Every structure is written in structure tokens, then in C-alpha cells.
Amino acid sequence: MSPVTAGVLQLLALIAALALAYRPLGDYMARVYSSKKHYKPEKWIYKAIGANPDAEMRWPAYLRGILAFSAVSVLFLYGLQRAQGVLPGSLGFVAIDPDQAFNTAASFVANTNWQSYYGEQAMGHVVQTGGLAVQNFLSAAVGMAVAVALVRGFARSRTGELGNFWSDLVRGTVRILLPISVIGAVVLVACGVIQNFSGIHEVGQFTGGSQQWNGGAVASQEVIKELGTNGGGYFNANSAHPFENPTPFSNLFEIFLILLIPFTMTRTFGRMVGNLRQGYAILATMGIIWIAFTGLMMWTEFAHHGPALDAAGGAMEGKETRFGIAGSSVFAVATTLTSTGAVNSFHSSYTGFGGGITMLGMQLGEIAPGGVGSGLYGMLIMAIIAVFIAGLMVGRTPEYLGKKIGTREIKLAACYILITPALVLCFTAAAMALPTPGNSMTNSGAHGFSEILYAYTSGANNNGSAFAGLNADTQWFNSTIGIAMLLGRFLPMVFVLALAGSLAEQKPVPETAGTLRTDKPLYAGLLVGTILIITGLTYFPALALGPLAEGLAS
């Protein structure tokens, strides 16, 4: 069997597995967020928090809950890293420097997991397992809560109430993320992912001498790293490290975990707004972009145009033998079209166009299928933009799911789609204009520019992957990427929740013959076009200087 055929079969297997999980998990998540019943352990948690889980919140209260919780999380994670030197279970690692500790704390709370440190050389058990892995759960649960609040905004009318943040946070964590993680972690251990609390120890080698191994709770962190679209590796090599991703099966399983919640949340959305076909239209849009990107990536990587790749006879630089080109390409697209940023191969050594595809995936706003929660709310914002454009064409007030898209709504949606490109392009321009940031580049020419464009694209979109030749552990990059991650995560949430509040207050408008049908293939096509044109026009000049220049030259 040719590697291309095997790659296509792996993609089909992935689609089949996702299709099987789609209905049960999507419906289950809808029940989790709609149910009135609290389980006993959840009641204990609410009691400890001191919150009434049945109190409905309007959007400012919901937002305040998110911001307070996230601010406390950043401070706690920062303090944990700064105190590492005196904490037990730190494997002898010292405190993290202030700029790097800020960057890492912002990164994990913002669901980005950009890493300017080397995991195996910097972080002990307490910080990894008790700090970083915890935020893998909680930042994901926050993203899902915001998405659910927006869906409630569409589903409810004549009320400003969006649900209860504490209840959504706790339910997302204990009813959705934890059970899947326990099962997934055991599957990963069965493949060979390590799970222990050993210290750094010596293991004998074949030709004598020994190698040093770090122990760690790797499987339990690996599974939520993928499932919560986080992406922060236990080891520096992330999912390319054999202890994080040992076999071709574990590779496909991890890709499945990355895509699982973002795709199935479209079912949850359809279920909660009472029209499954609306969910299918969103799903189709996400699916078309994901499959097209994966196809393009496989094509450019198998063709391996690029001087050094031509000389080597294949694009295997930075890729593992067990995954090959197909297994690496499918992973690379899944990780950059979601907010994951885990890598099983190093994007910097991809072909020029291949690197460009990973960047464009993030620049689309990570909505196909996107991060857990953030993918759905990002896509719904684009859906609003698409009905607005269609409304302009025919001269009618646009509506979506029975809600009028008026001035206030479209202003909030426009703010949402402007904030990340503004962060990416301004910070990239500043880094290129200043004298010192450029010293961090490993590669020169177009690819050097790409390293910096990639860094801010990844930070502001909360992805976390990198063209990792860039030495990002400088005060400039630690600070600016840290700020980009926080603003890129929480400002859009402000606009989404404000939008959700204003939608929930409206009364539904009845559907007429003139209403644009948003559950039809025509609309899915319009949505794909809107996404590509808006993002394409925003980023085309920057992409032309980086990956397009590199790709066209080879």
C-alpha cells in the first residue's frame, strides 16, 4: 500500500470514529448543560465555592465570574512556578524566572499552552501535574461555558439570563472532561505512554553507560492536553516524544481526542437551539475546511518541494518514522485548525506551503472545528457575519436562528473578528521593527519572518504551537506573547457574552418566505466563502512575505 493511500485511510478512519461519537456525545453534552439535577459531589464543590448553582446570571455577572476565576488562576500558577524551588516533588528544579512564569501562567490559563521553557528540564511534578495539567481542564471548561452561554443566548428570548458560570464550569469539568480523560489516559498507557511519579533516574544502555529518564504523570496530562485542545507537552518534543505518543494508533487516537469535542459541540448546539439541522450546517462548514486543509497538507508534504527536502528525497526532517508524512500532516492540520498546538512533528521544517497551511489554519480564527467551546462560538460569530453579508445583498434585516442581527449585534461581531488580527499584525510589525527581537530567529530570510509571524499568530489565537527555531525565552517575547495570549482569549469572550446577552433579550422573529435558510448547503457554502475571504484579505500581505515567498521560491 502506498503511503498516500494509507494516509487517506487514516483520515477516513478518523472521520468514521468521529461520526460514531457525534450523536451520543453531542446529545450528552446538551443534557449536561440543560439538566436541573446536581450530583452529590457537585453539591460539595458548590458548597466549598459558596455559590448557588441555580442562580441565573446576566452577561455581566457571567463575565465577571470568568474574569475573577481566570485572574486567580493566573496568579496561582505564577506563584506555583515562582515557588518551585521550595516545593516538594520538584525534581530539584529551581524557581522559574518572573517573565517566563508570567508567560507560562498566561499561556495555560488562556488555553494556549505556548511554552518558552523545556518541560523535562524546568518543571517538576507539582507544577506539571498540580498546576499546568489542572489548567488544561479548567481553561477548556471555561471555553465550553462561554460557548454554551452564547447558545443559550440564541435559544432563550425575552430574558437576559445566560445560565450560571460556576455550574457550567464544574459540570464541564466533572461530567465531560474528567470521565473521557480517565478512559483516554488508560488507553494511552496501554500504548506505552508513561504514568509514574519517579524522579530523574539512570537507565542502562546497549553500548554501556546510561541515559537519564524523567518520570511523570504523562498519560493523565497527555489526554487532557488533546481533549481540551490545550497542547502543552510534558516534554519539549511534545507529542513527537515517544513517551507522549508511542505508536501509530496512539497518534490517531490523540488526533481523535483533539477533534472530538469541537466537532460534537455542533450537535450540542443544534440540540439546545431545538433545530439539529442548524448544527449540521455548522458541522458541514467545519468539516469542509478541515478535510480540504488536510488534503492540501498531504499534497505539499508528499511533493516535498524545498531545497533541503529535495536533497533528502522526502519531507522527513522533524518527523518521526512511526508516523511518517501522512500521520504527521493529519496531526499538523488538526492541531492548528483547533486551538491545540500540540505537535507530533515540527512545523518549522515543513515545506514552505505546509508551514503556510498551519499558519492559515490558526488565522482563520481556529473555527474548523476550533478549540473546545471557542471553536463553536468563533464559528457562530462568522455565521452572523455571513447572514449579515447575505442580508446586505438582498436588502433585508439579517436574522439568524430567529434573532435579528441589528446594529449592536453586528458591532460586537465585528469587534470579535478584528481583535486577533490586530494583535497578530501589530505585535509582528513591532517585533520586526525593533532591533533585538530578530536575534531570536534560527532561520534567515522569509522563514525568519515566518517564525515571528507564527509566534504571534499562535499566541493571539491561543494555539500554542511554534516555528520552534525562534528562541522565545526572552523578556520581549515572554511579555508580548503573554499579553497577546490574554487579550486574544478574554477580549473575544467579552464580545461573545455581550452578544449572547443582547440576543437573549430579544423576542424571536417569525420565519418568513424571505428568511435566509441557514440550514441549507447554500448557506454552508456562503459561510466557507465568508471565512476564507475575510481572513484571506486580512492576512494575505503578511503570508505573502513569509510562507508564500518561501513556498514559491522552491
Partner 1 sequence: MNNSVGNTARLIGAGLRALLVLTVVCGILYPLAVTGIAQALFNDKANGSEIKDTNGQVVGSSLIGQTYHLPKQNPDDPEEAAKPDLKWFQPRPSNGLGSNSVNTQYALILSGATNRSADNGAVNGLCFKDAEEGTLCAQVINARETVIADNSTASHTVWPEDVPADAVTSSGSGLDPNISPEYAKLQVHRVAERNKLDIEQVEKLVADHSTGRTLGFMGEPRVNVLELNIALKALSKS
Q: Which of residues 159-178 bind partner 1 (CB under 8 A)?
A: 166, 169-170, 173-174, 178
CB of 356 to partner 1, least distance (A): 12
Minimum distance between the CB of residue 259 and partner 1, rounded to whole angstroms?
16
User: Quick check: 468 binds partner 1 (CB under 8 A)?
Assistant: yes
The span from the CA of 157 to the CA of 507, in Å, is 5
CB atoms within 10 A of CB 210: 10
* Closer CB to partner 1, 12 or 509, in the complex: 12
Interface map 257-296 toward partner 1 (x if CB under 8 A): ----------------------------------------
- Cβ atoms of 314 and 325 within 8 Å: the answer is yes
What is the grid cell recorded at 408? 449592536
What cell was used for 20? 460514531
Closest by Cα among 290, 232, 297 to 547: 297
Identify the helix (H) or strand (E) that includes residue 212.
Answer: strand 210-213
Contact residue for partner 1 among 4, 20, 94, 190 (CB under 8 A): 190
Interacting stretch for partner 1, rule CB under 8 A, among 151-159, 390-398, 462-470, 519-527?
Answer: 462-470
The correct pick among 32, 51, 426, 532 for binding partner 1 (CB under 8 A) is 51
Check residue 199 for interaction with partner 1 (CB under 8 A): no
Q: How far apart, in Å, are the Cα atoms of 504 and each of 6, 66, 157, 383, 507?
A: 48, 19, 5, 17, 8
365 CB-side CA count, 13 A: 31
Taking the C-alpha atoms of residue 547 and residue 3, their distance in angstroms, rounded to an integer, is 26
Distance of CA 43 to the CA centre of its chain: 30
What's at 218, amino acid-wise? Answer: V
How many residues touch partner 1 (CB under 8 A)? 126
Q: Does 447 bind partner 1 (CB under 8 A)?
A: yes
Q: Which of residues 124-163 bind partner 1 (CB under 8 A)?
A: 129-131, 133-134, 137-138
Listed ranges 398-406, 415-423, 463-471, 496-504: which one lies at the site for partner 1 (CB under 8 A)? 463-471
Contact range with partner 1 by CB under 8 A, out of 15-23, 208-216, 417-425, 454-462 = 208-216
Window of 16-24, 342-350, 477-485, 536-544 that interacts with partner 1 by CB under 8 A: 342-350
Region from 92-100, 147-155, 199-207, 365-373 binding partner 1, contact rule CB under 8 A: 199-207
What is the spatial distance between Cα 110 and Cα 177, in angstroms, rounded to a whole number?
17
Helices marked H in 129-247 = 133-155, 165-171, 178-191, 218-227
Residues 532-551 touching partner 1, rule: CB under 8 A, are 550
Q: Do the Cβ atoms of 128 and 219 come closer than 8 Å?
A: no
φ/ψ of 142, rounded to 5, equals -65, -45
* Contacting range for partner 1; rule: CB under 8 A; set: 25-33, 90-98, 259-267, 304-312: 304-312
Of 328, 322, 343, nearest to 247 (Cα)?
322
**237 makes contact with partner 1 (CB under 8 A):** yes
User: Is 1 an interacting residue with respect to partner 1 (CB under 8 A)?
Assistant: yes
- Does 322 contact partner 1 by CB under 8 A? yes
For 403, the enclosing helix (H) or strand (E) is: strand 403-404
**Interface with partner 1 by CB under 8 A: which range of 324-332, 406-414, 496-504, 521-529?**
324-332
Would you call 422 exposed, middle or buried from its count of C-beta atoms within 10 A (0-12, 13-18, 19+)? middle
The secondary structure of residue 436, as a DSSP letter, is S
Near partner 1 by CB under 8 A: residue from 88, 208, 395, 510:
208
Provide the b/e sequence for 143-173 (b: ≥16 CB within 10 Å): bbbbbbbbbbbbbbeeebbbbbbbbbbbbbb
- Interface pick for partner 1 out of 343, 455, 493, 498 (rule CB under 8 A): 343
Structural contact between residues 167 and 45, judged by C-beta atoms closer than 8 angstroms: no
- Out of 232, 306, 356, 464, which residue is the one contacting partner 1 (CB under 8 A)? 306
Among 350, 400, 477, 523, binds partner 1 (CB under 8 A): 350
- For partner 1, the binding residues in 470-509 under the rule CB under 8 A are none
203 binds partner 1 (CB under 8 A): yes
> Using the rule CB under 8 A, which residue among 59, 108, 263, 323 binds partner 1?
323
- Report the alpha-carbon distance of residue 485 to residue 342 in Å, rounded: 16
460 binds partner 1 (CB under 8 A): no
Give residues 92-121 in contact with partner 1 (rule: CB under 8 A).
118, 120-121
Give yes or no for residue 246 binding partner 1 (CB under 8 A). yes
DSSP string, 302-350: HHT-SHHHHHHTSS-TTB-TTTHHHHHHHHHHHHHHTT----SB-GGGS
Nearer to partner 1, 215 or 525 (CB): 215
Of 62, 467, 477, 523, the one binding partner 1 by CB under 8 A: 467
Q: Tell the smallest beta-carbon distance from residue 284 to partner 1 (Å).
A: 26
Q: Binding to partner 1 by residue 346, rule CB under 8 A?
A: yes
Does the protein bind partner 1 through residue 198 (CB under 8 A)? yes
